[in-house]
Amino acid sequence: MKTDYDIIVVGAGPAGSMTACHAAKKGARVLMIEKRQEIGASLRCAEGISREGLAKSKIVVDRSWVSAEIAGAKLVSPCGNYLRLDERNAGNEVGLVLNRHLFDKALAADAARAGTEIQLKTSATGLIKEGRVVRGVVGTSYGEPFKATAKCVVGADGYESQVGRWGGLDTTLKTNDITTCFQYRMTNLKVEPNFCEFLLGSVAPGGYAWIFPKGGDTANVGLGVLGSKLKKKGEVKAYLDKFIKNDERLKHGQPLEALAAAVSVSPPVEKSVSDGLLLVGDAARVIDPITGGGIANGCIQGVIAGQVLGECSQAGDFSDAALQRYEKLWRDELENKLYRNWMVKEKLITLPDKTLDDVVKVLSESDLKSMSVYSLLAALKEKLPDLVKEFEQFI
């Protein structure tokens, strides 16, 4: 079995597969390892993505991995004020609800067609280093000891983000920057089949509740609560069960699948590369701190990572200095928006239900052109300037 590569990608989620695919397309010898026995399972995601995010990653929509095409979105305040935007004014911000089980496999298949080798049930439990330079991974593969060398290791290991920490990159999170989520795939619901719904306030302290349609009378119904607002064990599930029980459209629904997950709602990592090491996706903390959406950012970053790694492979140089091009390109694309949304989140989590009611009422009376965070903030800047003054430089 081959044990030496140009690049080893740890984690076969969307960011890992996009990185592997684009690096392999440039001729790099790529191995992608996935510790689970199936790519795309088990699910840890609400599965929403904007069409814009897919377009930026040059991913062509394939209906086989689309559960529902979304016609609009609804933002609901604690007292029931709501802002509703349909596809006429929400444009490309409105997107799709994916079937991640199939979407992740499709991206991994693209990586394979580009030349990537894939090994399932293969865990990295540590890095091989020469001094400070990363030279490969050690772990297990199908229960047997595993060791492979590479000129560069890519940490695409999601929220867990252990590869970076093994390599000396700080990916630790404060409890204020972690959202703990619980979700049911539910059926027998009376919800709009093509509208995503976001419910703010004490229904999900420091986060929000969501209803993302999955086709017909089925939807992902979940919520996330900020880590620093949790007080008891099992509290997130209790919040979700209460939310469902109190909603006439949901209370007669039945679960088909239950899942728990944690989501980083932090600023991005301060450093995403070092000698022979690169982080991508949630491992680099590029999840949007407002929406909790991370698929698009991970894919966008993966494209950049793959292209830079391909060039590094051709030059035979994976040093920190050579990988700085990746650092610059993804930050140019994503960083300002991530920081802005993190600052907005920091403000949002302090607002009582009454203020959230006012915010949504103001937004509902505004002539909004899209559901983007920027568009919402711009409207608030005009009507409630005090609310946004701490981050108005980003608006």
Partner 1 sequence: MSAADWMIVNVDKCFHCGACVGSCPQNAIYLAEVVLEFNEKCNK
Site residues, partner 1 (CB under 8 A): 35-37, 42, 44, 121, 123, 125, 140, 158-162, 165-166, 171-173, 175, 178, 180, 227, 234, 258-262, 264
C-alpha 228: how far from chain center: 20
Q: State the Cα–Cα distance between residues 47 and 280, nearest whole angstrom.
A: 19
Nearer to partner 1, 5 or 159 (CB): 159
DSSP string, 19-44: HHHHHHHTT--EEEE-SSSSTT-S--
Nearer to partner 1, 234 or 255 (CB): 234
Give min distance, CB of 160 to partner 1, in A.
Answer: 4
390 torsion bin: left (phi>0), alpha (psi -120 to 50), beta (else): alpha
Q: State the Cα–Cα distance between residues 19 and 10, nearest whole angstrom.
A: 11
Give min distance, CB of 84 to partner 1, in A.
Answer: 32
Nearer to partner 1, 233 or 245 (CB): 233
Give min distance, CB of 73 to partner 1, in A.
Answer: 26
Residues in Cβ contact with 332 at an 8 Å cutoff, skipping those fewer than 6 apart: none
Q: State the Cα–Cα distance between residues 131 and 50, nearest whole angstrom.
A: 42
Give min distance, CB of 218 to partner 1, in A.
Answer: 21
In the numeric block, the tokens 């004020």 are attached to: 81
Give min distance, CB of 175 to partner 1, in A.
Answer: 8
Q: Where are the alpha helices (DSSP H) in the chain?
A: 14-25, 51-56, 87-90, 100-113, 162-166, 235-245, 295-315, 320-348, 353-364, 373-383, 385-388
Nearer to partner 1, 225 or 380 (CB): 225
Nearer to partner 1, 162 or 366 (CB): 162
Nearer to partner 1, 155 or 306 (CB): 155
**Helix, strand, coil distribution of the chain in percent, nearest 5:** 40, 30, 30
Q: Is the peptide bond before 42 cis (omega within 30 degrees of 0)?
A: yes
Give min distance, CB of 325 to partner 1, in A.
Answer: 27
What's the N-to-C CA distance of the chain in angstroms? 53
Residues in Cβ contact with 108 at an 8 Å cutoff, skipping those fewer than 6 apart: 12, 17, 32, 39, 40, 118
Give min distance, CB of 267 to partner 1, in A.
Answer: 16
Nearer to partner 1, 173 or 329 (CB): 173
